[in-house]
Structure 1
Amino acid sequence: MSRGFPEGIQYGGDYNPEQWPEETWAEDAALMRKAGVTLVTVGVFAWARLQPGPDSWEFGWLDRLMDLFAAHGIAVDLATATASPPAWLVRSATYVRPVTADGVRLEFGSRQLYCPSDPTYVRAAGKLVRALAERYARHPALALWHIHNEYGDHVTECFCEESAADFRDWLRKRYRTVEELNRVWGTDFWSQRYGDFRQIEPPRTAPGPVNPTQVLDWRRFCSDALLRLHRLERDVLRTHSPDVPATTNFMSMFKALDHWEWARHEDIVSDDAYPDPAGPAAHVGAALNHDLMRSLKGGRPWLLLEQAPSAVSWRPVNVPKRPGLQRLWSLQALARGADGILYFQWRQSRAGAEKFHSALLPHRGTASRGWRETVRFGAELRRLAEVAGSRITARAAIVLDWHSWWALEGTDHPSERMRWRELLRPWYEALYARGITVDFVAPDADLSPYRLVLAPNLYLLRAEHARRIADHVHGGGHLVCGPFSGVVDEHDHLHPGGAPGPLREVLGVVVDEFWPVPDGESVRVGEDARASVWSEWLVAEGARPLLAYASGALAGQPAVTRNAWGRGSARYLSCRLDAEGLGRVLDGALCEAEVTPVLDAAPPAGVEAVRRGPYLFLLNHTDREADSPALPGTDLLTGEQVHDRVQLGPLGAAVVRTVSTER
């Protein structure tokens, strides 16, 4: 990946040496070598140790640690340590501490305690980053800069006066005049009209619903405010070490940050993934998030920067990963494009909020089950080194727009049950079950690589983005669009003529009236499908009905339609179908678009098949043995030849270099 990265798949995790006596460090470095660790993240929460006072610095310990890792051939992902300001900084300026929408100023004693708009924090963070960059830019152990940590964790927004002033400046740049803001915000409703930008405040707690466009712009502003901090740090690092890449660790599909915009400023995308071992379908959600991370930089390899070796410490009940599960889930990330498998953390803490969080080196040390798995998996990753750099080719894409997500989940809608993740998940699960690997794409993306484009929901839809989708269909692509789409424009104003707005012509339908389904109820669709949560009074305008409502007030009205458009086709689902009904609709679209799974014969239930370049990953997510179809080649994990089938043990896996690439 860069000048400082060892060859192959990166392996390691967070190391917090400040929690341990210095004599422990040499022992840790030796154990890391034994385990096959190649990359460690250092200094994430070390601000107070690096800078114990406004004008005092203590770099000696970090110098010795960096030299130790260089001597052991272990690369370092060096954090800028700005995620948790120290006590001396927090006490030096009142406005460093963020304020909630209810006016409560948060207190010191946890982490991530800062207001993104506070100039004192910004100056102090910049000073720290410059000091680190000047000192370590040319250090031989440095392979990657780790900017901040999990932006938006705990605090995604601040409602203090500094943030209010910053928000007004952001609005001035966006709208130029208060008259334009009044038009876009629709302030003639409820007498909200402004005479000056100085009259505008953040959407703090109010007597009733707050202007929805104001709230949407606030979401945009908060994402931009955090991104501005990231870019300030990145600019400092680039000045001193232009050849060293930088990343910041995302938290999977996180609502508060527009990852498409953030990824433009990342050299390498990285993610922290914590699926729940107690969840029977947790691996499906993990696959979804891995596909997103791969997609954010157009298919380039990414880093799984954090995951738990076993149990976490922050759920109400923290279930450990049974033997073999952390290996299986790590291989899943590798299958879906990761070039690094790292964990939180290396040595398990003895004090603090995360002392019960698992680690690669658990409390019991090298006698523990966890340590044995750490060493075994490190050896396996060395056998998979050649996988690094290979890419996935997907022929289906899911459109994801953070602005639409923010607007969709506003207040005073026909139903509060229409939530992006709940709308997306059944569509992704259906594709996953069929062995279809998908990319995620932004609404303004180039769609030409894809035969099938899926839009589970596009509540907010810009006209220019709709034209891209329509042109793709007209040129021979295929579209499946979900309900409550094309409802509003980028300002959260309803499209004239009703939904689906600018997709009306390509879909060949118009919505006469939204018809939410009451909680606990459902309606029949076609012969045996059912819809819950949502339905629509749909009028076909050229589209052919595929399924009709068969019960309730909409009985006889079209529920699912198909419209021929140019050389392609567009399907519209006006309801939230059950799994079988949705699956049949998607099957029709997949067949028409000629999007097929990796294997001609379906693997057994619970076995995941993913093709990454010439490598076929087969992952058994069940507790029973599975006899799976395969492609001829060599299993890199065992060195054995594979023909047309492979036997997988419980939680077992195979990584087959297919015969066409055999050396």
Structure 2
Amino acid sequence: MSTTPTFSHDGIAYGCDYNPEQWDRSVWREDVALMQEAGVDLVALNIFGWSHLEPRPGEFDFAGLDEILDLLHEAGIRVNLGTGTASAPPWLTFRHPEILPETEDGTTRFPGGRQAWCPSSAVFRRYALELVERVAERYGEHPAVELWHVSNELGCHNALCYDDESAEAFRGWLRARYETIERLNTAWGTSFWSQQYSDFAEILPPRLTLSSRNPSQVIDFHRFSSDELLGYYRAELEVLRRHSSVPVTTNFMVTAHIRNLDYWQWAPEMDVVANDHYLDNRLADPTAELAFASDLTRGLAGGGAWLLMEQSTGAVNWQPQNLAKATGEMTRNSLTHVAKGAEAICFFQWRASLQGSEKFHSALLPHAGTDSDVWREVVELGGTLDRLDEITGTRVQADVALLFSWENWWAADGESRPTHAIDHLSQVHAVHASLRRLGHTVDVVRPGADLSAYRLVVVPNLYLVRDSEAAIVSDFVAAGGHAVVTFFSGIADEEDRVRPGGYPGAFRELLGVNVEEFAPVLPGQVLTLASGRTATAWSERTRARGAEVVDSFADGPSAGRPAITRNRIAGGGDAWYLATNLDAVALDEVLRDAAAGAGALPQGDPDQPGLEVVRRADEGRSYLFLINHSTNDVELSASGRELVTGEPVDSIARVPAGAVRVIREDRTR
């Protein structure tokens, strides 16, 4: 039995979560028939099935799951089978309340929602793995099962648990990492505030304190917590491997509001990378965040195909204002994911629930039924995806890379930082959005990744970086590459120890600058540069040490000091440094110049900012995705055959407002 099975589907999968336990059996056949009508060919089952499969401890009932699996198989619909362990049944938390998670303030979180279990709980793991064993034994060779789905959105609610069992597990993780208490004391800088430990037994999770907490301890607790849940994933994986050769995954949450798992560590464990993504209408530009999340998920997949495991047809139920999508928006969102590497487009959920917390969450089959605009768009999308099947196996083309890491996110947003007016992810989003406006497709990669395939590399707000990771950027520029580094980068090493000698620390020599002091400003204060560009929130008292000063502060606490610099490196490379938080117009100007100098050509037309252009290609095939986010019809030079409509394209592609066109190009790039 292979230990590295490969996910394979006939074309682009079109799928959904289905919760048949919410419905009378009389509805099941109707649902399967409607799935066929819509073109659905991959259905996730048993995601939250534990209390139905094991209604009482040790008493298993598989009759319902047997029936629905057979119905789907008869209809030619493949199954993404959940292990059912995402939420414990009431009998388990009633008999074993010790499995319940504890928050950083020392209070327990109770059942009644979901994920009411601590990742370090040995009791929970014992019961959960028994269920996985039963499910895998029964369905490991079922012909309908195309993919295994471990748990669900691991760590969405319970990633950080601070109870005594987690404390003991944390101490074990620290012993393995540091071996001696002396090495831990050095790594954590415990000479500060009389925090020096004499024994690992004295260490607790970073529960709430009266003051700010030790930042190195907090980062290590994040690393431990991510590893602890990854260990849980591996435990389920081991059981599945014993009974099945079907590929295994779990659904990541690469999104703006979830940050507790280091998916760079998780991705190599997946047979195929899968992600859940929902438009976040709390953001100023939810569509730009969707683009970033897709690019990052593709990075986790090593640039290859990945699966969109969940999204919504319309509103969700968990934001302060749950906005419906405009006509065509669901299709546009879906095809944006496809443009950026997704080869499965799946939704939560099939039929809208009538009860429970998610009863107002949209679905493929809404409360209004089939006589609805949502249903008609669902059916239309199924047909469109079928017409795009031929693109599978192609790869997204990009010559710009952006460095991103979760552990840097944890560190850069620490409790004690120069200003709370800036958060890390907003800086990453701003740079990515600017490159997208300029027409560039961006690969999001981890620090330390091979950069040789790119012309331009952008390093936004990379506060925590290892020496070896920074050296790869420097070597890239020395070999003729171009880089843009933004403020608050290179400051600390992997133990959150500030590099002495002046900022930006690890990038100081590459950039040819030395920053003596951060000089943030109050929210609302606008900084003016000598060129007339404007910025907010952040300035630095910088000195050029070999770099050319492109622009300087005209006012504010760093008046007269460099704000934008460019260091020309022997060998043809350039290293730009942005010492302030430029507004969108100014950021676009600088990144346009940097990209042009690097020879990074935009796929799209920057003069049509509402048109997103992405190319997927391989040897002999090339497909151009034209995604019109604007309210106006747009045009772009292209030739080939358009796959959505089936029409030929002769020199000019016309894309209606809000629509997507996919052109099989006459010749490869």
Band of TM-score, shorter chain? over 0.9
Offset of 1:243 from its aligned partner? 4.1
Q: Could you tell me which residue of structure 1 aligns to residue 599 of structure 2?
A: 594
The one-letter code of the counterpart of 2:45 is V
Give the 5 Å matches for 1:180-195: 180-195=183-198
Offset of 1:279 from its aligned partner? 6.4
Offset of 1:246 from its aligned partner? 2.7
Alignment partner of 2:649 out of 632, 642, 645? 642
Alignment partner of 1:479 out of 465, 478, 483? 483
Question: Quick one: distance in 2 between partners of 1:401 and 1:36?
Answer: 37
User: What do the CA deviations read for 1:176-227 (whole angstroms, capped 9, x no partner)?
Assistant: 1111111111111111111111111111111111111111111111111111
Offset of 1:278 from its aligned partner? 8.4
Question: Quick one: distance in 2 between partners of 1:463 and 1:299?
Answer: 25
| 1:4–1:142 Cα contact (<8 Å) kept | no
Figure out how many residues of one structure are paired with residues of the other and give that number. 660
| 1:185–1:211 Cα contact (<8 Å) kept | yes
Summarize the Cα distance change of 1:526–1:4 in structure 2 as closer, same or farther, 3 Å threshold.
closer
Offset of 1:59 from its aligned partner? 1.0
Q: Could you tell me which residue of structure 1 aligns to residue 625 of structure 2?
A: 617
Question: Quick one: distance in 2 between partners of 1:319 and 1:357?
Answer: 11
User: What do the CA deviations read for 1:570-606 (whole angstroms, capped 9, x no partner)?
Assistant: 111111111121111111110111001124x546331
The one-letter code of the counterpart of 2:327 is P
Question: Quick one: distance in 2 between partners of 1:243 and 1:350?
Answer: 33
Instruction: Give the secondary-structure state (helix, strand or coil) at the position aligned to 1:353.
Output: coil
Instruction: Give the secondary-structure state (helix, strand or coil) at the position aligned to 1:264.
Output: helix
| 2:503–2:514 Cα contact (<8 Å) kept | yes
Question: Quick one: distance in 1 between partners of 2:9 and 2:505?
Answer: 51
Question: Quick one: distance in 2 between partners of 1:103 and 1:281?
Answer: 36
Instruction: Give the secondary-structure state (helix, strand or coil) at the position aligned to 2:370.
Output: helix
The one-letter code of the counterpart of 2:279 is P
Q: Could you tell me which residue of structure 2 aligns to residue 68 of structure 1?
A: 71
Worse-matched range after superposition: 162-171 or 415-424: 415-424
Offset of 1:393 from its aligned partner? 1.8
Summarize the Cα distance change of 1:436–1:401 in structure 2 as closer, same or farther, 3 Å threshold.
same
Q: Could you tell me which residue of structure 2 aligns to residue 260 of structure 1?
A: 264
Offset of 1:373 from its aligned partner? 1.3
Question: Quick one: distance in 2 between partners of 1:630 and 1:76?
Answer: 41
The one-letter code of the counterpart of 2:640 is G
Alignment partner of 2:27 out of 14, 24, 27? 24
Summarize the Cα distance change of 1:379–1:2 in structure 2 as closer, same or farther, 3 Å threshold.
farther
Q: Could you tell me which residue of structure 2 aligns to residue 410 of structure 1?
A: 414
| 2:254–2:293 Cα contact (<8 Å) kept | no
The one-letter code of the counterpart of 1:292 is L
Worse-matched range after superposition: 641-650 or 290-299: 641-650
Give the 5 Å matches for 1:451-466: 451-466=455-470
The one-letter code of the counterpart of 1:31 is L
The one-letter code of the counterpart of 2:454 is Y
Question: Quick one: distance in 1 between partners of 2:486 and 2:501?
Answer: 19
Alignment partner of 2:222 out of 219, 239, 251? 219
Summarize the Cα distance change of 1:628–1:540 in structure 2 as closer, same or farther, 3 Å threshold.
same
| 1:627–1:645 Cα contact (<8 Å) kept | no
Question: Quick one: distance in 1 between partners of 2:99 and 2:284?
Answer: 42
In the alignment, does 2:177 pair up with 1:174?
yes
Q: Could you tell me which residue of structure 2 aligns to residue 564 of structure 1?
A: 568
| 1:603–1:628 Cα contact (<8 Å) kept | no
Q: Could you tell me which residue of structure 1 aligns to residue 139 of structure 2?
A: 136
Question: Quick one: distance in 2 between partners of 1:325 and 1:439?
Answer: 24
Instruction: Note the aligned Cα RMSD (angstroms).
Output: 1.7
Q: Percent identity?
A: 44
Q: Could you tell me which residue of structure 2 aligns to residue 374 of structure 1?
A: 378
| 1:150–1:251 Cα contact (<8 Å) kept | no
Instruction: Give the secondary-structure state (helix, strand or coil) at the position aligned to 2:625.
Output: strand
Offset of 1:467 from its aligned partner? 1.1
Question: Quick one: distance in 2 between partners of 1:193 and 1:277?
Answer: 45
Alignment partner of 1:146 out of 113, 132, 149? 149
Instruction: Give the secondary-structure state (helix, strand or coil) at the position aligned to 1:56.
Output: coil
Q: Could you tell me which residue of structure 2 aligns to residue 577 of structure 1?
A: 582
Instruction: Give the secondary-structure state (helix, strand or coil) at the position aligned to 1:77.
Output: strand
Offset of 1:138 from its aligned partner? 0.7
Summarize the Cα distance change of 1:3–1:200 in structure 2 as closer, same or farther, 3 Å threshold.
closer
Instruction: Give the secondary-structure state (helix, strand or coil) at the position aligned to 1:489.
Output: coil
| 1:278–1:319 Cα contact (<8 Å) kept | no
Worse-matched range after superposition: 380-389 or 8-17: 380-389
Offset of 1:648 from its aligned partner? 2.3
Question: Quick one: distance in 1 between partners of 2:444 and 2:280?
Answer: 23
User: What do the CA deviations read for 1:283-331 (whole angstroms, capped 9, x no partner)?
Assistant: 1111110111111121111111111111111222222112111111111
Q: Could you tell me which residue of structure 1 aligns to residue 533 of structure 2?
A: 529
Summarize the Cα distance change of 1:518–1:271 in structure 2 as closer, same or farther, 3 Å threshold.
same
| 1:130–1:236 Cα contact (<8 Å) kept | yes
Q: Could you tell me which residue of structure 1 aligns to residue 446 of structure 2?
A: 442
Give the 5 Å matches for 1:91-240: 91-240=94-243
| 2:153–2:250 Cα contact (<8 Å) kept | no
Q: Could you tell me which residue of structure 1 aligns to residue 665 of structure 2?
A: 658
| 2:634–2:657 Cα contact (<8 Å) kept | no
Question: Quick one: distance in 2 between partners of 1:280 and 1:518?
Answer: 21
Summarize the Cα distance change of 1:257–1:472 in structure 2 as closer, same or farther, 3 Å threshold.
same
The one-letter code of the counterpart of 2:628 is N
Question: Quick one: distance in 2 between partners of 1:482 and 1:429?
Answer: 15
In the alignment, does 2:427 pair up with 1:423?
yes
Question: Quick one: distance in 2 between partners of 1:303 and 1:553?
Answer: 48
Give the 5 Å matches for 1:330-369: 330-369=334-373
Summarize the Cα distance change of 1:3–1:455 in structure 2 as closer, same or farther, 3 Å threshold.
closer
Question: Quick one: distance in 1 between partners of 2:99 and 2:5?
Answer: 36
Provide TM-score, normalisation by structure 1.
0.97
Alignment partner of 1:629 out of 614, 636, 642? 636
The one-letter code of the counterpart of 1:494 is V
Summarize the Cα distance change of 1:618–1:43 in structure 2 as closer, same or farther, 3 Å threshold.
same
Summarize the Cα distance change of 1:278–1:648 in structure 2 as closer, same or farther, 3 Å threshold.
farther
Provide TM-score, normalisation by structure 2.
0.96
User: What do the CA deviations read for 1:395-428 (whole angstroms, capped 9, x no partner)?
Assistant: 1100012221111111222112231111112211
In the alignment, does 2:521 pair up with 1:514?
no
Offset of 1:465 from its aligned partner? 1.0
Question: Quick one: distance in 1 between partners of 2:488 and 2:173?
Answer: 30
Question: Quick one: distance in 1 between partners of 2:385 and 2:557?
Answer: 58
Instruction: Give the secondary-structure state (helix, strand or coil) at the position aligned to 2:81.
Output: strand
In the alignment, does 2:607 pair up with 1:607?
no
User: What do the CA deviations read for 1:431-454 (whole angstroms, capped 9, x no partner)?
Assistant: 111110010111111111111110
Worse-matched range after superposition: 78-87 or 313-322: 313-322
Alignment partner of 1:84 out of 73, 87, 98? 87
| 1:187–1:193 Cα contact (<8 Å) kept | yes
Worse-matched range after superposition: 537-546 or 315-324: 315-324
Q: Could you tell me which residue of structure 2 aligns to residue 41 of structure 1?
A: 44
| 2:279–2:287 Cα contact (<8 Å) kept | yes
User: What do the CA deviations read for 1:235-272 (whole angstroms, capped 9, x no partner)?
Assistant: 22122223434333334353111111111111111111
The one-letter code of the counterpart of 2:364 is L
Summarize the Cα distance change of 1:375–1:240 in structure 2 as closer, same or farther, 3 Å threshold.
same
Question: Quick one: distance in 2 between partners of 1:237 and 1:343?
Answer: 25
Alignment partner of 1:488 out of 488, 492, 498? 492
Question: Quick one: distance in 2 between partners of 1:443 and 1:415?
Answer: 24
In the alignment, does 2:314 pair up with 1:310?
yes
The one-letter code of the counterpart of 2:393 is G
Summarize the Cα distance change of 1:314–1:244 in structure 2 as closer, same or farther, 3 Å threshold.
same
